[in-house]
Structure 1
Amino acid sequence: MGVRLSFSLLLLSSVLFNQVRGQEKLNLKQCIEYGLKSNPSFTISQNEKRIADAKAREALSGYLPNISFSGGVDDNLKVQEQIIPAGLFGDQDIRVAFTKQFNTTGSLQLEQAIFDRSLIVGLKANKLVNQQAELNLQKSKETIIYNISSAYYQIFTYQQQLELLNLNLDTYSKQLQIVALKVQKGVALQKDRDKVQVDYNNTLSQIRVAETNITLAENQLKYEMGFPMQEKLEIEKLDTESKEMPLDTANDFKPENITERSLDKVSADLLKIEEKRILAGYLPKLSGYARYGWNGFGDNLGQSFSTLSAFSSIGLKLTVPVFDGFKRNSQYKEAQLKYDNALQTNKLNEGKYRLEFENSVSKLFKAESNMENDRRNMELSRSIFSVTDLQYQKGVTDMKDWLDSQNSLKQAQNSYLSSLYSYYQSKVDLEKARGTLTKFFNSL
């Protein structure tokens, strides 16, 4: 009985813990941290880094000793004979077999490259390959930060929209009650109530759309985070008063901070090394070897093992390329052109990165200005509506003025929500353009 009670309490505690955990609201930094641990694309990039490490060891193996063993047993079902022509040892041809039915062989060989310029050049690429993998890992991290931030801000904007729509719905609901009383007293027309009812119904539809948009945005955020779709995810409310404007744009852009630019440079350097590796193929290759083995012959299998005799040898092997049908020459020209194209592409990208930064700065300044202006306009529209609402209740103004001021407020709210999301998105775009997404994440 005591064991069952303890188990029940443990199970209940676990359920309550999971419920509390499920209800916990995550801020942007927590969402990004989760994504960096759970997003499959980041795991793929980590695996690519491990693959690069393995390729580096693979390239190094070309200049390390290579040891191999080979052996075999032959059963010569019909032993081949050779002919000694007549006149050498007699008047008749003599048939001689230079082996027996069973032949056993085994050898152990060590090979060592002494000089191979193409291998030496290839080894220089190892550092660049590892650097490329590190940069791809950093790029994957930045992509996750960017995508999660965009989805997070989208959810927040839709939540803000839903709050404003619910306030509007409450306003229309109260107005419906007021107009209904006026209709009963004969001081208002039924069409006035119908107009409010239409706006009430439209707001209900907009709320349903906003709720759907929130669900879709939450699903997008879950996808970017690698978060289970079936679990509930809630985010913390942002402080819309907290803003961080870009630094002095004259000194703020540092191309070396942009991961894609660094990847461009590494890719070009790898093409240059490939060009040198192909050119090195024109040079001779020298390698050495040492071999130790055994031979055994017999009329039966056992005898072929009992008569094993050893042999050994050492030597050098020199390979000199003479003519390959212009294959290597064509490969070298292709490598030269690829490297030149990479350099030209990098020059184009330098301008593109600078353009993206300048545009992002302009968009952020404009987005902040629009947001502040739309915020003030929304507050002003709310103030005007409050006065109009009070005037309507006192009978100083009519329903048309009330509806016009309420519609003006809704338009101001929509403009503010649009500029609010544009501001946050522009902020993330600027962090991406100046290569500071990781710094942005660390500062959250």
Structure 2
Amino acid sequence: MRLIWLFLIFHFPIYIYAQSDTSNWDLKRCISFGLQNNRNRTIYYNKKQEADAKAQELLAGYLPSVSLNGSLDDNLKLQETVIPAGAFSPTDIKIAMSKQFAMNTTAQLDQTIFDKSLLVGLKANKLNKQQADLNVRLSEETIIYNISKSYYQIKVYREQLYLLNSNLENYIKQVDISQLQVNKGVLLQKELDKVSVDRNNTISKIRVAQSNLELSINQLKYDMGYPFDDTISLDTTTEIVGVIGKTASNVSDTPSFFLQNITDYKIDEITMKADKINAEKIKAQMYPKLTAYAKYGTVGFGDYLGQTFQGTSPFAGVGLKLSFPILDFYKRNAQYKQAKFQSMNSMEQLKLNADKYRLDYKNAYNKMDQEQGNVIMDKNNIQLAESVLATTNLQYQKGVTDMTDWINAQNSLKEAQTNYLNSLYNYLMAKVDMEKSAGTLIKN
């Protein structure tokens, strides 16, 4: 029976830490891989290309355009026109002005000379490109944020497994000692059963933690775009030591807050500018549009189809077209008012969001400071609880104290470990939230 428990003790730690002992996958490398392989990055990069194509589409409105048109009519019954009686005849004369077949081909070039609404719309090109770039950056920040959270979750589960296996080892040793005492008749069976129950509960917790670890590793693979069927060895043990020893208020590398570092704020700025341009564009539709054109074509007529393409007559012309909307004033004015109020709301929303980003940073800073202090305190509590357990264990072996005191000391250690794991997790999550709220997830 003892061999089984010894196997359980050493089986879990070997499985857990074999990955980290042979690992090169630290957080930095996981992020680098994720930025290259996460599919969301590809989606937003394609959207950036889409924005570039849209900018070209808007620019094409002020470039010359050429159209080719052709028609071939078979006039099954020719339309007739009337020459009034008088000059040519005392009665009206009905005459057909065409033949059964008629052909027309035309090539026309159009060039916009003035269209204020189009000129205003061209201002949005730069904004569209900037927004597409910012969306790519926002996607990268999301990838980094998700990878960091999954990575730190794995770190906490591994720390939990390490502590649970340490507890299990203590329980197994105590079970062996208690079993000998029961055999000698100096300890009641119920005291042995109490320790056995705690041992079995610890084994169950190890299994749950191991399952949670596997789930977290799969989540990390998903966030990275890493193949699920491939093994990944993670080094998450070296950074835990660095959590202890400083408070957030004394950490020199704590990021400062600058609104222009916040990608969401930059996107809000572009949205505000785009709404303003949209209102200007609608207002500009009241101005006339001037377009120049040049056209060249040929026409042909015949009583039968082949004759239509023989002896065609060319024609050509150049001109100007002026378009001036008049009767849509009320519709356009209503649209302008809507766009104007939307622009005003965008400006107010920008100010509101700026305050929210400041609040997020303040809260994240305070949270990180608080949780880092909790980690330090809870880590020290573990050391104190371990010291108490060691003393109680020695007293128990000498018969100075009883099993109840030993179990209470072990439970105090487990409580201290639980508090430490919770504060460690909260600190690591607050650390990521701090970087996010400061806009420094991507190091420039």
CA distance in 2, matches of 1:182, 1:248: 56
Hey, what does 1:261 align to over in structure 2? 265
Give, in angstroms, the shift of residue 289 of structure 1.
0.4
CA distance in 1, matches of 2:213, 2:35: 23
Q: Is 2:333 aligned against 1:334?
A: no
2:115–2:289 Cα contact (<8 Å) kept: yes
Give, in angstroms, the shift of residue 264 of structure 1.
0.7
Q: Is 2:366 aligned against 1:362?
A: yes
CA distance in 2, matches of 1:415, 1:125: 53
CA distance in 2, matches of 1:45, 1:81: 62
Give, in angstroms, the shift of residue 82 of structure 1.
2.4
Give, in angstroms, the shift of residue 88 of structure 1.
3.7
1:117–1:281 Cα contact (<8 Å) kept: yes
Runs of 4+ in 1 over 6 A off after TM superposition: 248-251
Cα deviation digits, residues 216-249 of structure 1 (max 9, x gap): 2122212211222333333212321224846679
Q: Which moved more, 1:283-292 or 1:32-41?
A: 32-41
CA distance in 2, matches of 1:54, 1:150: 36
Q: Is 2:183 aligned against 1:184?
A: yes
Hey, what does 1:300 align to over in structure 2? 304
CA distance in 1, matches of 2:290, 2:384: 86
CA distance in 1, matches of 2:85, 2:357: 89
Hey, what does 1:71 align to over in structure 2? 70
Hey, what does 2:11 align to over in structure 1? none
Hey, what does 1:135 align to over in structure 2? 134
Pairing of 1:157-176 with structure 2 (within 5 A): 157-176=156-175
**AA of the residue aligned to 1:240:** I
CA distance in 1, matches of 2:419, 2:78: 98
Q: Which moved more, 1:388-397 or 1:65-74?
A: 388-397
CA distance in 1, matches of 2:350, 2:253: 23
Q: Is 2:418 aligned against 1:414?
A: yes
CA distance in 2, matches of 1:98, 1:358: 85
Hey, what does 1:84 align to over in structure 2? 83
1:25–1:233 Cα contact (<8 Å) kept: no
CA distance in 1, matches of 2:86, 2:259: 89
Give, in angstroms, the shift of residue 169 of structure 1.
1.1
Cα deviation digits, residues 90-126 of structure 1 (max 9, x gap): 3454332211111111010000000000010011111
CA distance in 1, matches of 2:113, 2:90: 54
Pairing of 1:91-110 with structure 2 (within 5 A): 91-110=90-109
CA distance in 2, matches of 1:262, 1:348: 14
Percent identity reads 50
Hey, what does 2:6 align to over in structure 1? none
Pairing of 1:212-361 with structure 2 (within 5 A): 212-238=211-237, 239-243=239-243, 245=248, 252-324=256-328, 326-361=330-365
CA distance in 2, matches of 1:248, 1:255: 20
The equivalent position to 1:435 in structure 2, one of 415, 432, 439, is: 439
Q: SS at 1:287's partner residue? A: strand
Q: TM-score, normalised by structure 1?
A: 0.91
**AA of the residue aligned to 2:376:** E
Q: SS at 2:102's partner residue? A: strand
1:298–1:307 Cα contact (<8 Å) kept: no
Cα deviation digits, residues 369-405 of structure 1 (max 9, x gap): 1000000100111111112112222222211111111
CA distance in 1, matches of 2:83, 2:148: 90
**AA of the residue aligned to 1:401:** D
**AA of the residue aligned to 1:359:** N
Q: SS at 2:67's partner residue? A: strand
CA distance in 2, matches of 1:233, 1:279: 59
Hey, what does 1:126 align to over in structure 2? 125
Q: SS at 1:234's partner residue? A: coil
Query: Residues 370 and 187 of structure 1: is their aligned pair in 2 closer, same or farther, counting only changes over 3 Å?
Result: same
CA distance in 2, matches of 1:233, 1:242: 24
**AA of the residue aligned to 1:438:** I
**AA of the residue aligned to 1:178:** I
Cα deviation digits, residues 235-279 of structure 1 (max 9, x gap): 212321224846679992111111111111111001111111111
**AA of the residue aligned to 1:115:** F
CA distance in 2, matches of 1:265, 1:56: 19
Structure 2 gaps, min length 5: 1-18
Cα deviation digits, residues 147-169 of structure 1 (max 9, x gap): 11011101110111011111111
**AA of the residue aligned to 1:436:** T
CA distance in 2, matches of 1:236, 1:131: 37
Q: SS at 2:295's partner residue? A: strand
CA distance in 2, matches of 1:248, 1:178: 51
CA distance in 2, matches of 1:301, 1:366: 91
Cα deviation digits, residues 346-368 of structure 1 (max 9, x gap): 11111111111111111111111
Pairing of 1:190-205 with structure 2 (within 5 A): 190-205=189-204
CA distance in 2, matches of 1:191, 1:410: 22
Q: Which moved more, 1:145-154 or 1:218-227?
A: 218-227
CA distance in 2, matches of 1:38, 1:97: 72
Hey, what does 1:7 align to over in structure 2? none
Structure 1 gaps, min length 5: 1-19
Q: TM-score, normalised by structure 2?
A: 0.91
**AA of the residue aligned to 2:146:** N
Pairing of 1:12-27 with structure 2 (within 5 A): 24-27=23-26
CA distance in 2, matches of 1:278, 1:82: 46
Give, in angstroms, the shift of residue 201 of structure 1.
1.1
Q: Which moved more, 1:139-148 or 1:78-87?
A: 78-87
2:255–2:435 Cα contact (<8 Å) kept: no
Give, in angstroms, the shift of residue 78 of structure 1.
2.2
Hey, what does 1:384 align to over in structure 2? 388
Q: SS at 1:63's partner residue? A: coil
**AA of the residue aligned to 2:415:** Q
Hey, what does 2:148 align to over in structure 1? 149
Q: SS at 2:158's partner residue? A: helix
Q: Which moved more, 1:244-253 or 1:160-169?
A: 244-253
Cα deviation digits, residues 318-338 of structure 1 (max 9, x gap): 011212151110111001110
Q: SS at 1:227's partner residue? A: coil
